[in-house]
Structure 1
Amino acid sequence: MPLLSLLLNLLWLVTGGIWMALGWLLAAVLMAVSIIGLPWARSALTIAHYTLLPFGQTAVRRDEFRGREDMGTGALGFIGNIVWFVLAGWWLALGHLISAVGLAITIIGLPFAWAHLKLALLALWPVGTEIVPSDGVGRRVPGRI
């Protein structure tokens, strides 16, 4: 991890990263306990890790990154996103939005507010996305499973 990303991630933890990662973790646990929500639980854990250390990583559409559609990027992914939105997406997005507003008041908090806004959008519609290193965004990985 580059030094700048490490520094930003450390500051991020203090400015809401830990709390929002715990929110994602809670969503994953609730999904897993329901058993029906198991497909979303793994994704929520992945995004909880991303929420804990967002700098140096980015969320991309999986079909654009891999160059092909899969179950999560087609019609089933659309339905999955609707179910996710109803069960957990709206309250996670609201948490990120509140954090962003609080951080945007200060000049120092602006980069972290921007990160919370990006995570709020991801919270609304996460199915069909993949978390990749920021330096790997331009590279597609055809055939990668």
Structure 2
Amino acid sequence: MRVIGNIIWWILGGLLLAAAWALIAVLLCLTVIGIPLGMQAFKLAGLTLAPFGKTVAYGGGLGSTFANIIWILLVGWWMAVGYLAAGLANMVTIIGIPFGIQSIKMAQLALMPFGSRVVRRLR
């Protein structure tokens, strides 16, 4: 199911969105100040490329919390709202529910990427 879900995800725009995230990450990494933000954008690109079969493990300490607060204020809130809106729109149909769940997973990561890791689900 993971492979089929990811292929359908790519066809419906996941591949284009992952490429956009990767481009944003590369542009952010051109400056020293943007490198931490670029690394988070690469994390979002990786999850966006193949969300089925992956989960997000949250953790981190005080530094991650501080970085997440700044992230939320600058870009995280509107990115999370966009993913949440896409997820809810996908959940209108029964066929779209798995894709909506993946969008909501990405909304959580888009809100607080610092201190989190994308890990492969063992199933």
TM exceeding 0.5: yes
Paired residue for 1:70?
none
Task: Give the match for residue 65 of structure 2.
Answer: 78
User: Secondary structure of 1:91's match?
Assistant: helix
Q: 117-126 or 97-106: which moved more?
A: 97-106
Q: Hey, what's the Cα distance between the residues in 2 that align with 1:22 and 1:96? A: 16
The equivalent residue for 2:22 is 25
- 1:118 paired to 2:115: no
For structure 2, the residue ranges without an aligned partner over 5 or more in a row are none
Shift of 1:33: 4.1
Of structures 1 and 2, the larger Rg is shown by: 1
Kindly indicate whether the alpha-carbon contact (under 8 Å) linking 2:47 and 2:106 is maintained by their aligned counterparts in 1.
Answer: no
Structure 1 unaligned residues grouped into runs of 5+: 63-72, 137-145
Contact residue 20 and residue 96 of structure 1 kept, 8 A: no
Structure 1 stretches of 4+ moved >4 Å: none
Distance 1:18 1:94 in 2: 20
- In the alignment, the residues of structure 2 paired with residue 40 and residue 9 of structure 1 have an alpha-carbon distance, to the nearest angstrom, of 26
Kindly report which structure 2 residues correspond to 1:28-67, keeping only aligned pairs within 5 A, or say none: 28-62=25-59
For these two proteins, the number of residue pairs brought into alignment is: 123
Alpha-carbon distance in structure 1 between the residues aligned to 2:49 and 2:74 = 21
User: Corresponding residue for 2:76?
Assistant: 89
Can you list the C-alpha shifts for 1:25-81, whole angstroms capped at 9, x where unaligned? 35424532453121121121022111110111111124xxxxxxxxxx111111111
Query: Over residues 88-121 of structure 1, what are the superposed CA-to-partner deviations in whole Å (9 max), with x where a residue is unaligned?
Result: 2123212212211221121100110011011101
Indicate how the Cα distance of structure 1 residues 76 and 37 shifts in structure 2: closer, same or farther if over 3 A, else same: same
Q: Please give the root-mean-square deviation of Cα atoms over the aligned residues, in Å.
A: 2.1
TM-score by length of 2: 0.85
In the aligned structure 1, how far is the partner of 2:62 from the partner of 2:96? Answer: 38
Q: Structure 1 stretch 27-36 or stretch 119-128: which is displaced more?
A: 27-36
Alpha-carbon distance in structure 1 between the residues aligned to 2:101 and 2:8: 14
Q: Does the 8 A contact of 1:81 with 1:127 survive in 2?
A: yes
